[in-house]
Amino acid sequence: MAAKKKLALKKVVKKAAKAVKKTAVKKAAKPAAKKPAAEKVAVKKPAAKQSAVKKPVAKKAATKVAARPAVIDTQRAVEQFLYQQSEILDTRQWQSFIDLFTNDGIYWVPITLEQTEWEGSPSIFAEDKLMMEVRMRRVLHPNAWSQAPMWATNHLVSNVVIEKETATEVRVRSRFQLMELRRDTVRHFGGTYRHTLVKSAGGYKIKLQRVDMFNSQAPYDYVLQIWV
């Protein structure tokens, strides 16, 4: 049954990707008609920017933004990456979430803005990939009692700013809103994501995701069971 669910989810994600592609092509058609020269350049020189998103989406990004400066190209690829990470969380693909990280990748939610190291001071989350695996195995365990009630999340990512880009890395800052349904109540969270993304052949990988919850020092009504 779990496999069936997963398959269904995959279908949904694929469908969404297709839809994105369709609209992208539609939109891309207009400027292409106005500036055929630019379109040609695009065909000759597909953007080499990395993207972790699925192939069709990457292709779309390449054709669409061809005539624009490379920085806009990165901007779009990074945004797509962040959207996909949100989708992965909201569709509960825990292994896919872990796979977004490099082997030495870290997921970190500090308590205060002043903290600069993921180790050595109190944190809300401070997890390497192995601890992420503990968390995944825990929530999938049949006797994870607190997982029994109705639960769902809805993420929105916005205000995406590329802080720095080098040949190998991109540092991105964005804002998120998270609504979480648990039992009959909805909780609201928000804050800042700071991703350090590494460019690799397979697209972006997360070296460090720092999440600054805007309410990090307020009391938590119950706890967070999965990554924000």
Partner 1 sequence: MLHEPVPNLKKLVEPDRVHRLAYTDPEIFELEIKEIFGKIWVYCGHESQVKKPGDYQTLTIGRQPMVMIRGKDMKVRVLYNRCPHRGVELCGNLKGNAGEALTCSYHSWRFQLDGKVESIPLVKGYDGTRMSLDNPDCSMRAAARVDSYRGFVFASLAPEGPSLPEFLGAAKIAFDDMCDRAPDGEVEVVPYCHRVIQHSNWKFFMENQLDALHPSVTHQSTGAASAWVERDIKQKTGEAPLYYHYLSAFTMSFDKWDSVQTLNYPRGHGILKGYMGLRPDDPDTKAYVAAMYKSYGEEKAEKYLSRDIHHVLVYPYLSVQSPLQQIRVLRPIAPNKTLSEIWHFRLKGAPEAIYRRSLWYYNLVNSPATMINADDLENWTKGQWGLESSGMDWVSFHRDYGRDQENADGSIYSKNGTSEAVMRSQFKAWTEYLTGGK
Return the number of the residue (13 or 224) whose C-beta is nearest partner 1. 224
**Of the residues 27, 40, 45, 137, which one makes contact with partner 1 according to CB under 8 A:** 137
Helix (H, G, I), strand (E, B), or coil: what is residue 223?
A: coil
Q: What is the CA radius of gyration of the chain?
A: 19
| Residue 93 or 115 with smaller CB distance to partner 1 | 115
DSSP-derived secondary structure for 91-155: TT-HHHHHHTEEEEEEEEEESSTT---SSSS-EEEEEEHHHHHHHHHHHHSTT-GGG-S-EEEEE
Nearer to partner 1, 102 or 115 (CB): 115
Region binding partner 1 by CB under 8 A among candidate stretches 16-24, 41-49, 86-94, 128-136: 128-136
From candidates 135, 199, 205, 210, binder to partner 1 by CB under 8 A = 135
- Among 109, 157, 160, 172, contact with partner 1 (rule: CB under 8 A): 109
The Cα 14–Cα 90 span in angstroms is 15
Residue 134 CB partners (closer than 8 Å, separation 6+): none
68 binds partner 1 (CB under 8 A): no
Residues 83 and 77: their CA atoms lie apart, in Å, by 10
Could you tell me whether strands 101-110 and 203-213 are parallel, antiparallel, or unpaired per DSSP bridges?
parallel
Of positions 119, 150, 166, 201, contacts partner 1 by CB under 8 A: 119
User: What track of x and - describes contact with partner 1 for positions 189 through 218 (by CB under 8 A)?
Assistant: ----------------------------xx
Nearer to partner 1, 109 or 170 (CB): 109
Which is closer to partner 1, CB of 70 or CB of 134?
A: 134
Q: Is 223 in the site for partner 1 (CB under 8 A)?
A: yes
211 neighbors 109 (Cβ within 8 angstroms): yes
Size of interface with partner 1, in residues (CB under 8 A): 36
Distance CA 141, CA 139 (A): 6
Under rule CB under 8 A, which residues in 140-169 are in contact with partner 1?
A: 141-147
- Eight-class DSSP state of 226: S
Interface residues with partner 1 (CB under 8 A) are 109, 111-112, 119-126, 130-131, 133-139, 141-147, 217-225
